[in-house]
Amino acid sequence: MNRIDTGEMDDEGRARKFTFLEIVHILKEKAWLIIVCLIAGLFVGLGYFARQPSVYRSQAVIEVASEEPSILKFEEGRAQDYSNQDVLQTIVASFRSRTLLGNVVTKHGLCADRQFCGASAEVSADDAIDRVLKATRVEIRKGTRLIDITSEYGDPKTAQKLANALANEFLAMLMEQRASTSRVAVKFLMEEAESLKAKLQHSEEALQDYRERHNSVSLEEKQDTVISKLKDQSTQLSEAKASRLRLEADCRKATEHADNVAALLSLACVSDHPAVRDCKQQIAALDSKISVLSLRYTEKHPKMIQAKAQMADAKALLSETVLKIPSLLRSTYEAAVSTEKNFETAVQEQEKVALALNRQAISYNVLYRDMETDKALYEAILKRLKEANIAKGIELSNIRIFEPASFQNEPVNLTRTKIAAVGLSGGLLLGIALSFLLYLLDHTLKTVDQSESVTGLSVIGAIPLGARSVSDKSKIFLLSDPTAPIAESFRSFRTSLELVARRKNGGTFLFTSALAGEGKTFISTHLAVAFAQQGLRTLIIDADLRAPKVADIFAIGREVKGVSDLIADKAFPCLEYARTEIENLFVLPAGSRIINPAEVLSGSGFGELIKLAEDEFDAVVVDSAPIHPVSDTLLLVEYVDWVCLVAKAGATSAHSVIRAHHQLELAGTQVAGLVLNQLPKDGGFGCYYYYSQASYGTEGYGQTKGGNKKA
């Protein structure tokens, strides 16, 4: 079965757990308390409804665009990111500004507004601000950039007025702040423009003075001319140097082969010389001519001889020309060296001119840059100043009223039905909570399951609450009403004890309780009757020498000797007892009253009585004194087979039963179990529901007076 944790702790320090049946029992047992709390909650809710004034709600909505609208370019630099939640939260917080609320109160005359002030004819400005703060609420609508301005007041017109006034005044204050910012910006720009104007004038005058002093009106053109000329001369110098290096190499090679015509012709500088090329061409022409003549004439023909003579002259001229080339190359090389030196001198002179101009341009450029910078700043400030003057007359904002507050004629208070439902719910929860609280504070044994869980003892008998058990304690239900559930419960109890007795082959049962008034005599007498009705020869011994009751229940006269009398005799040959009107049932009463029961019972006399009783009877039932008030029972437990603890359901404390059990264990006895007496029939859970079926199998069970039927 499922259990529910509670804050209560058992004896071993573990958390108590309620079973479902236990919860049902608690609710049934405390149903009256729950009903009282339900009724109280209903009346409290209705009373609250009767006394609660009507409240009307009105709501205005403003929208915050993600970006500010900008007509002029310079406004983009100061735009805020309104998609940021921090900015939206700042806007919401600004609605609680007392300055803003003061403007609302002043402009709308709320201090003297009778609908706003209520019973007061007039309130102060601070009180009016506090009322507006209390009556309004500003929140960001989740997932949007919409801000809800909600007003709740006892008058619908005032609620609408407060919501619209707060929204409009916020926008007005926002525009005023922006206008003020624009005015400050214009003033600042004008001051900056005047300052930059004077600075620009000073820079222009300084530049003009420098031009006049250094005659540098066309300094830029001079620099361009000098630089261009320097570049040309540098190029010519490079070409002259390259030509000189090439000629130097050619002269060196030609000088090495000055007398070798074939070696000189192998040099490109010699073979490519114009004079050499002419000689080569002439030789080639003569060679071609000889080839043609050889086809027609012989070697000795005059024309062939003439042509060969010309060829020899041409080759001699070629050799002579080739041998002159080295001297020609040397002359050309010397001219190239001279040209290179001239170009170097010209470049150096031109560099000096360029450096002088650059030195002169440094100061000029500084003054010129200052003038250009001041001019650019001045023009930018003039442009912004014009834009700011234009923006002063343009009222644009990214915050606008999305939806004005409307007139709501229906109050927002909880209706009577809702308040009644809330009251009933609260009363129900309170009743249930009080029920469980009282249950947890109540440490008495209430049910079978709870008793076993708390005490650790098995419940071997659950006796229901009989209708006449309180008014007539001498009534024996097994005789007067054998079919009643209480009678059947004693038969079940008898069966449980028989099963217990089999484990030890003992039939002596002592009944005691933690405190007086638990019903131990009622239990022991009915059990004795149940044993007798089963056909067992049964003796009930009244060992409660301080408050004996058994003799009165069975109408035993005072002339019969009892426990105190037999023990006082110290030597008794046989056991004396009295018969009852019930077959097989005999009684040994308490006997004469004595002033020292504990001293009498501390001897071995009671043990001898028990031995005699066990020899003569099938079952022996001992009714003894409660454990906590006196020590009599602890002196007797060593002589009996089983001890049964009796507890009164709903009255006996669990702690007292646990303590009694502990004392019995210290006395060295074995406790058969716990007997719950006067268990309410409407308990509805635990073991008692097994006995509460009065209509099942009760006919034919039990025995009328004088009869004997076995259960």
Q: Is residue 250 part of a domain?
A: yes
CA 554 – CA 540 distance, rounded (Å): 11
Q: How many angstroms separate the Cα of 141 from the Cα of each of 8, 92, 144, 164, 168? A: 45, 11, 6, 18, 19
Q: What is the pLDDT of residue 5?
A: 47
Enter the tokens of residue 627: 């454990």
Residue 261 lies in a domain: yes
**17 band by pLDDT with thresholds 50, 70 and 90:** low
Bigger pLDDT: 101 or 705? 101
pLDDT at 158 over 90: no
Q: Given this model, what pLDDT does residue 515 score?
A: 92
pLDDT of residue 178: 75
Q: Residues 282, 383: one domain?
A: yes
Kindly report the three-state secondary structure assignment for every residue of 660-676: HHHHHHHCCCCEEEEEE
Pair (455, 343) in one structural domain: no
Block residue for tokens 């009577």: 416
Distance CA 229, CA 358 (A): 15
Contact 500, 673 (CB under 8 A): yes
Answer whether residue 687 shows pLDDT above 50: no
Residue 85 lies in a domain: no
Opening angle at CA 399, ends 395 and 403, nearest 5: 115
- Tell me, yes or no, whether 432 and 533 share the same domain: no
pLDDT tier at 708, thresholds 50, 70, 90: very low
For all residues of the chain together, what is the average pLDDT? 79
DSSP-assigned beta bridge partners for residue 674: 459, 645
Domain count along the chain: 3
Asked if the model's pLDDT at residue 686 lies above 50, the reply is no
Higher model confidence: residue 80 or residue 470? Answer: 80
Of 368-377, 496-505, 508-517, 609-618, the one with minimum mean pLDDT is 496-505
DSSP-assigned beta bridge partners for residue 444: 653
User: pLDDT tier at 393 (50, 70, 90 boundaries)?
Assistant: low
Q: What is the mean pLDDT of residues 661-690?
A: 75
Q: What is the pLDDT of residue 542?
A: 92
Average pLDDT over residues 675-687: 67
Q: What is the pLDDT of residues 196-228, one digit of tens each?
A: 888 888 887 887 787 777 666 566 666 677 778
CATH number where 525 lies: 3.40.50.300
Per residue in 167-196, pLDDT (tens digit) is 888 888 888 877 777 777 777 878 887 888
Domain extent at residue 44: 20-52+413-441
Same domain flag for 364 and 423? no
Predicted confidence (pLDDT) at residue 18 exceeds the cutoff of 60? yes
Whether residues 334 and 434 fall in one domain:
no
Specify the pLDDT at position 305: 85
| pLDDT given at position 286 | 83
Whole-number pLDDT of residue 706 = 37
- Which two structure tokens, joined as six digits, stand for 301? 């023909």
Instruction: Write the single-letter amino acid at 111.
Output: C
Assigned token pair, 205: 């005058």
pLDDT band at residue 441 using 50, 70 and 90 as cut-offs: confident
Core vs surface per residue 324-351: b (16+ CB within 10 A) or e: ebbebbeebbeebbebbeebeebbeebe
Residues 6+ apart with CB under 8 A from 317: 279, 282
If asked whether residues 591 and 454 sit together in one domain, one would say yes
- pLDDT level of residue 675 (50, 70, 90 thresholds): very high
Q: Are 633 and 627 in contact (CB under 8 A)?
A: yes
Position 310: which residue type?
Q
Pinpoint the alpha helices (H) of 503-596: 520-533, 550-553, 563-569
Phi and psi torsions of 538, nearest 5°: -120, 140
Q: Are residues 514 and 633 in the same domain?
A: yes
Query: Considering Cα of 633, then 637, then 641, then 646, what sign does the dihedral take?
Result: positive
Say how far apart CA 662 and CA 658 lie, in whole Å. 6
More confidently predicted of 103 and 573: 103
From the number of C-beta atoms within 10 Å of its C-beta (0-12, 13-18, 19+), residue 388 rates as: buried
Which CB contacts under 8 angstroms, 24+ apart, belong to 381-384? 381/189, 381/192, 381/193, 381/196, 382/193, 384/74, 384/189
pTM flag (> 0.75): no
Closest CA to 255 of 672, 180, 247: 247
* Structure confidence at residue 587 (pLDDT): 93
pLDDT at 682 over 60: no
pLDDT value, residue 1: 42
Model confidence pLDDT, tens digit, residues 47-78: 776 676 778 888 889 888 866 655 445 444 44
- Residues 408/56, Cβ–Cβ less than 8 Å: yes
CA dist 673 and 33 (Å) reads 33
Q: What is the pLDDT of residues 296-347, one digit of tens each?
A: 888 888 888 888 888 888 888 878 887 777 878 788 878 888 888 887 888 8
**Within a domain: 557:** yes
pLDDT over 50 at 31, yes or no: yes
Are residues 455 and 427 located together in one domain of the fold?
no
By three-state DSSP, how is residue 560 classified? coil
Helix or strand (DSSP H, E) at 15: strand 15-19
Question: Do 434 and 452 sit in the same domain of this protein?
Answer: no
How do residues 461-517 score in pLDDT, each as one tens digit? Answer: 888 876 444 435 567 888 888 888 888 899 998 988 888 877 666 679 999 999 998
Alpha carbon separation from 627 to 250, 630, 641 (Å, rounded): 145, 6, 18
Q: Please report, as a single letter, which amino acid is at residue 480.
A: S
What count of other Cβ atoms lies within 10 Å of the Cβ of residue 189? 20
Q: Is residue 139 part of a domain?
A: no
Please check whether residue 680 lies inside any domain of the structure: yes
Task: Decide if 155 is inside a domain.
Answer: no
Q: Does 463 lie in the same domain as 425? A: no
Helix H or strand E encompassing 250: helix 219-256
Decide: 590 and 542 in contact? Cβ < 8 Å: yes
Asked if residue 30 belongs to a domain, the reply is yes
462 and 346 housed in the same domain: no
- The larger pLDDT score, comparing residue 631 to residue 257, is at 631
Q: What is the mean pLDDT of residues 134-141?
A: 88
Give the strand order in the sheet containing 56-64. 136-140, 146-153, 56-64, 399-403
Same domain, 419 and 483: no
pLDDT for residue 133 is more than 90: no
Most confident stretch, 216-225, 381-390, 540-549: 540-549
- Torsion-angle region of residue 684: left (phi > 0), alpha (psi -120 to 50) or beta? left
